[in-house]
């Protein structure tokens, strides 16, 4: 068996079927490589050799002692028992206890001498070691040598479960390490030399059984580079494979002049940034290889206009274009925007339409079956030029005559399979433009979207107004919340509109009304309003519930609609919007809000992306600490989209010095989405960013951190590109080739997804 085969070998052949099954159930591990990359989260050092009577309670210690007695205590009405072992160093005695490990009685015999290590605790007033690690010293052995080897050694502490404690994981990994002494290195010698990395086999051993902390650090650096390098290899290979595909060139301005007419219909001129990015897009579209570009920019930076322009250019070149949106609300808005901009040019197929008019359709899951069939037929026959839709675009039965351009809005809502599903609906590979309003640091873009070229829109269109953000701490300043509702009334009084955003739709335990009266109705009303709002915001989330958890204690749309309609905002035109409403209800509500028939929209995050109502100037976000930094940034981008300045108020019960409050203060302090995205990454677990793969399998990234390891990711990208340029099939490094093939097979070439 070759060395590279060893890494792919099933675990059960080396550690037994029972233990292998436990690793599969706990962590999803199947192969030797899986378990060897289960790295320690930290190390502890066994205490230096210490006399029993000198060991403080609570400290780690190692003692050299002789076994005086061994006794098994049965546990009433339970299986197993407690093994109690008393040892002495000649001066004092110490109790060792082993729960449900009676089998150790066979080797812990009276008179045996050994080294025992662990943490000293008190039980019933007596000092003891529970489940100590130990090494018995055979008769005639060099005791001093055994002490040097055992005491002071670094002990790896692994992510563990009740069925697989850290010591059991350590034992299993030790079995594997004995097999890999001569394993081939994954990286070419020149990369090891240029990046000053230790050999692979040594890194694996030192990360699990380090000689010292520096050795562990060197091992982790090597293995972190491997993660970055292998990921970049896969992404670069994927990118090169895409470039070998054939696409229909889209030559802007060479057709019927539809792009020129589109530009003439725009009520504004493109910014310098939009023109720069358009040149990048146009150059890609003109190629016979498919464009694969990520267009990222701040909320309201004008990404959609460029995407719609590219779609019109595709139609002008006799092709079809599709825009895939994550929600029906956003798909409908894109559809209406396109119809509004194109005007008569979008009336293709209608009686009396212009000769060159385009046929534009909206395809979502909620439209009637007969209408779906009509659109499916039109796409297959080629009579539909542009289609905007949701996941219905990738459902069975959707075929295109000639799909030349696919635009995906908010990529993190879609996985690789969805992206590829539409790409495969056409004989030639379509050009793909991915849009996201979530600012992404460079290394995140390289890691998550490494198979795409990146364009950035870093300026807002002219006429956009700044947004001011304030935090309302209801625990310390409840009267600030009263002022928030007054601000909404003031804005509505000026003819403007507002959003109130809540993290959930409804509550199983609505707040109670109070019917007590006061001599001053207005003061009593304000007091009751504060009390109801306080009750709605008062409950604490149970431990372990993350943003968007079960929501039992979070503010809800339906509750606050009732509270505001009856109280602080009574007399205003208030409506609700959430995901449980029918598509028609959502559409009617959004249309009414956009046309000014609704003053205040109480909504969930369904308005997070794409909703564009220029007259909305103020937003109140309830339980703002339940949302992530990027989501808050997206939400507040719904206000200030016209000529009037925007105001966003973040309501929270977080304590002043809590991480949640710090996160909200960071959002309030800047409008720079890229700076906020770094804050978000620093405060969130890395797994939320680099978690499961887009194909649904788990991530293979255990050590890599996209912010801390920025320089390493950039270096890995360069080395991967250089290696594939001279050896596209990795034939000169068979161990690496086999490893990459295995990773590609497991993850469908997609290691990570945006969280």
Q: What per-residue confidence (pLDDT) applies to 59?
A: 78
Q: What is the pLDDT of residue 695?
A: 35
Position 164 in a domain: no
Which has more pLDDT, 183 or 45? 183
For 49, which DSSP code?
B
Quote the number of domains for the chain.
Answer: 3
> Does residue 608 sit in helix, strand or coil?
coil
CATH (domain of 108): 2.40.50.140
Closest Cα partner for 436 from 297, 304, 310?
297
Residues 482 and 394 in one domain: no
Report the candidate in 297, 340, 304 with the shortest Cα–Cα distance to residue 325: 304
Using a 10 angstrom Cβ sphere, with 0-12 exposed, 13-18 middle and 19 or more buried, the burial of residue 79 is: exposed
Q: What is the mean pLDDT of residues 732-752?
A: 72
- Quote the tokens at residue 640: 């200030």
* Residue in the block written with tokens 């439209």: 367
Identify whether the C-beta of residue 338 lies closer than 8 Å to the C-beta of residue 386. yes
**pLDDT value for 338:** 87
Question: How far apart are the C-alpha atoms of 733 and 748, rounded to whole Å?
Answer: 22
Determine contact, residues 724/237, Cβ cutoff 8 Å. Answer: yes
- Answer whether 328's CB lies under 8 Å from 413's CB: no
Which CATH number characterizes residue 411's domain? 3.40.50.300
Q: Which tokens belong to 475? A: 């625990």
495 burial level (CB within 10 Å; 0-12, 13-18, 19+)? exposed
Is residue 40, in this structure, part of any structural domain at all?
A: no
Q: Using CB atoms within 10 A of its CB, is residue 514 exposed (0-12), middle (13-18) or buried (19+)? A: exposed
Domain contains 417: yes
> What is the C-alpha separation between 419 and 440, in angstroms, rounded?
19
* Same domain as 623, residue 507: yes
On whether residue 379 sits in a domain, the answer given is yes
Q: Where are the beta strands (DSSP E) in 195-258?
A: none
Average pLDDT over residues 558-571: 89
Write out pLDDT tens, residues 501-551.
Answer: 998 887 643 333 333 344 455 555 555 555 555 544 543 333 322 333 333
- Distance CA(579)–CA(558), nearest Å, equals 12
Euclidean distance between CA atoms 424 and 429, whole angstroms: 7
Looking at 670, 703, 720, the residue that finishes a domain is 670
Q: Are residues 52 and 100 in the same domain?
A: yes
Q: How many CB atoms lie within 10 A of CB 270?
A: 17
Domain that holds residue 146: 47-152
End position of a domain, from candidates 670, 702, 718: 670
Contacts from 218-223 at CB under 8 Å and sequence distance 24+?
220/39, 220/703, 221/197, 222/197, 222/198, 223/37, 223/39, 223/703
Strands, E assignment, 280-358: 292-297, 320-324
Residues 613 and 474 in one domain: yes
- Which are the contacts of 190, defined by CB distance < 8 A and separation ≥ 6? none
Report how far residue 509's alpha carbon sits from residue 550's, in angstroms, rounded to the nearest whole number: 14
User: Which residues fall within 8 angstroms of residue 537, CB to CB, at 6 or more apart?
Assistant: 474, 555, 622, 623, 651, 653
Q: Which of 493, 111, 456 has its CA nearest to residue 294? A: 456
Measured between alpha carbons, how far is 459 from 269 in angstroms, rounded to an integer? 14
| Residue showing tokens 């990046």 | 195
Q: Is the pLDDT of residue 417 over 60?
A: no
Structure tokens at 709: 């390891």
Contact 320, 403 (CB under 8 A): yes
Do 630 and 538 lie in one domain? The reply is yes
Numbers of helices and strands, H then E, in the chain: 26, 21
- Helix, strand, coil fractions of the chain, as percent rounded to 5: 40, 20, 40
Domain boundary among 670, 693, 710: 670
**Cα 331 to the center of its chain, rounded Å:** 23
**Inside any domain, residue 558:** yes
pLDDT at position 511 is: 37
Residue 138 to residue 24: CA distance in whole angstroms: 37
Residues 423 and 487 in one domain: no
Contact at 8 Å (CB) between 660 and 654? yes
219: its two tokens: 């091992």
| DSSP code per residue over 392-450 | GGGSTT---S-EEEEEEESGGGS-HHHHHHHHTTSSSPPEEEEEE-S---HHHHHHHST
Tokens 């150059």: give the residue.
283
Please name which of 479, 632, 607, 503 lies closest in space to residue 555, comparing C-alpha atoms.
503
Neighbours of 517 (CB within 10 A): 8
* 570 and 485 housed in the same domain: yes
Q: Looking at the predicted structure, is the pLDDT value of residue 628 above 70? A: yes
pLDDT at 143: 63
409 and 493 together in one domain: no
675: Cβ contacts below 8 Å, ≥ 6 apart: none
Mean pLDDT (the chain, rounded): 81
413 and 487 both lie in a single domain: no
**Binning pLDDT at 50, 70 and 90, where does residue 665 land?**
very high
Residue 611 belongs to a domain:
yes
Whether 450 is in a domain gets the answer no
pLDDT in tens, 73-96: 887 777 778 899 999 988 889 999
Phi, psi (degrees; rounded to nearest 5) at 201? -60, -40
The Cα 594–Cα 585 span in angstroms is: 14
Band of residue 328 on the pLDDT scale cut at 50, 70, 90:
confident
What b/e readout covers 85-98, taking b as 16+ CB neighbours within 10 angstroms? bbbebeeeebebbb
| DSSP at 681 | H
Q: Determine the pLDDT at residue 678.
A: 74
Same domain as 483, residue 614: yes
Which 8-state DSSP code applies to residue 105? G
For residue 240, what are the CA distances in angstroms to 7, 382, 404, 748? 27, 30, 19, 16
Same domain membership, residue 362 and residue 411: yes
pLDDT at 546: 31
Identify any residues that bridge with 574 across adjacent strands, giving them in sequence order. Answer: 600
Which pLDDT value is given to residue 727?
93
CA dist., res. 262 & res. 431, Å (int)? 20
Tell whether the model's pLDDT for residue 749 goes beyond 60: no
Domain assignment present for 3: no
Q: What is the pLDDT of residue 299?
A: 67
Sheet of 431-436, strands arranged across: 360-363, 386-389, 320-324, 403-409, 431-436, 292-297, 453-457
pLDDT at 533: 52
Return the structure tokens found at 181.
Answer: 């002494």
pLDDT value of position 32: 92
Is the pLDDT at 418 greater than 60? The verdict is no
What is the number of other CB atoms lying within 10 angstroms of the CB of residue 211? 12
Locus of tokens 């579209």: 285
**Lowest model confidence (mean pLDDT) among 1-15, 134-148, 728-742:** 134-148
Judge if 414 and 276 occupy the same domain: yes
Question: Which SS3 state, helix, strand or coil, does residue 125 take?
Answer: coil
The residue ranking higher by pLDDT, 354 or 719, is 719
């Amino acid at each position: 068996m070759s060395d590279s085969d060893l890494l792919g070998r099933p675990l059960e052949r080396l550690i037994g079927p029972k233990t292998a099954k436990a690793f599969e159930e706990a962590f999803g591990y199947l192969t030797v490589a899986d378990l060897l990359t289960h790295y320690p989260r930290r190390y502890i050092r066994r205490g230096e050799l210490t006399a029993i009577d000198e060991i403080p309670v609570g400290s780690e210690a190692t003692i050299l002692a002789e076994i005086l007695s061994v006794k098994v205590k049965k546990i009433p009405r339970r299986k197993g028992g407690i093994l109690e072992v008393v040892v002495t160093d000649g001066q004092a005695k110490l109790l060792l206890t082993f729960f449900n490990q009676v089998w150790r009685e066979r080797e812990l015999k009276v008179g045996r001498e050994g080294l025992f290590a662990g943490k000293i605790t008190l039980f019933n007033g007596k000092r003891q070691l529970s489940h100590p690690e130990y090494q018995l010293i055979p008769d005639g052995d060099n005791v001093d040598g055994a002490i040097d080897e055992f005491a002071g050694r670094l002990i790896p502490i692994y992510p563990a479960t009740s069925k697989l404690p850290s010591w059991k994981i350590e034992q299993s990994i030790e079995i594997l390490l004995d097999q890999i002494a001569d394993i081939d290195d994954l990286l070419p010698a020149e990369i090891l030399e240029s990046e000053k990395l230790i050999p692979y086999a040594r890194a694996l051993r030192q990360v699990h059984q380090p000689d010292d902390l520096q050795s562990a650090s060197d091992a982790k650096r090597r293995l972190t580079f491997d993660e970055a390098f292998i990921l970049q290899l896969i992404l670069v290979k994927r990118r090169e494979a895409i470039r070998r595909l054939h696409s229909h060139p889209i030559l802007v301005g060479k057709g019927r002049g539809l792009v020129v007419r589109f530009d003439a219909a725009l009520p504004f001129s493109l910014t310098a940034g939009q023109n720069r990015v358009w040149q990048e897009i146009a150059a890609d579209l003109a190629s016979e290889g498919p464009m694969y570009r990520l267009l990222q920019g701040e909320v309201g930076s004008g990404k959609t206009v460029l995407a719609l322009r590219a779609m019109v250019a595709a139609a002008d070149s006799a092709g079809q274009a599709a825009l895939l949106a994550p929600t029906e609300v956003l798909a409908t808005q894109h559809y209406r925007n396109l119809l509004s901009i194109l005007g008569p040019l979008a009336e293709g197929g209608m009686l009396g339409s212009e000769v060159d008019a385009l046929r534009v359709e909206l395809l979502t899951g909620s439209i009637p079956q007969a209408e779906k069939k009509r659109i499916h037929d039109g796409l297959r026959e080629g009579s539909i030029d542009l289609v905007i839709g949701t996941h219905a675009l990738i459902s069975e039965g959707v075929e295109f005559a000639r799909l030349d351009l696919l635009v995906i809005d908010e990529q993190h809502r879609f996985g690789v399979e969805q992206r590829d599903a539409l790409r495969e609906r056409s004989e030639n590979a379509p050009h793909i433009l991915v849009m996201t309003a979530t600012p992404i640091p460079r290394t995140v873009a390289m890691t998550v979207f490494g198979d795409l070229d990146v364009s950035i829109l870093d300026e807002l269109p002219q006429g956009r107004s700044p947004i001011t953000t304030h935090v309302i701490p209801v625990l310390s300043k409840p009267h600030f919340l009263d002022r928030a509702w007054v601000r909404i009334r003031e804005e509505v009084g000026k003819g403007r509109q507002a959003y109130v955003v809540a993290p959930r739709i409804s509550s199983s335990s609505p707040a109670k009304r109070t019917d007590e009266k006061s001599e001053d109705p207005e003061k009593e009303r304000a007091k009751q309003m504060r009390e109801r709002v306080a009750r709605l915001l008062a409950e604490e989330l149970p431990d372990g519930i993350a943003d968007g958890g079960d929501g039992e204690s979070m503010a809800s749309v339906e509750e606050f609609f009732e509270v505001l309609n009856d109280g602080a905002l009574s007399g205003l035109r208030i409506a609700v919007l959430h995901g449980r409403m029918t598509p028609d209800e959502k559409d009617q509500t959004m249309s009414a809000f956009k046309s000014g028939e609704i003053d205040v929209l109480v909504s969930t995050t369904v308005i997070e992306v794409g909703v564009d109502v220029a007259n909305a100037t103020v937003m109140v976000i309830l339980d703002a600490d339940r949302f992530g930094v990027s989501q808050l940034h997206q939400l507040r981008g719904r206000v200030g989209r016209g000529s009037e300045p925007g105001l966003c108020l973040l309501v929270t019960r977080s304590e002043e010095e809590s991480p949640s409050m710090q996160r909200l203060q960071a959002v309030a302090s800047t409008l720079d989405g890229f700076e906020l995205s770094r804050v978000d990454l620093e405060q969130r677990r890395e797994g939320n960013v680099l978690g499961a793969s887009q194909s649904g399998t788990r991530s293979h990234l255990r050590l890599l951190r996209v912010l801390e390891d920025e320089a390493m990711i950039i270096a890995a990208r360069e080395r991967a590109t250089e290696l594939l340029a001279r050896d596209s099939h990795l034939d000169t490094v068979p161990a690496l080739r086999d490893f990459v093939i295995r990773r590609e097979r497991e993850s469908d070439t997609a290691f990570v997804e945006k969280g």
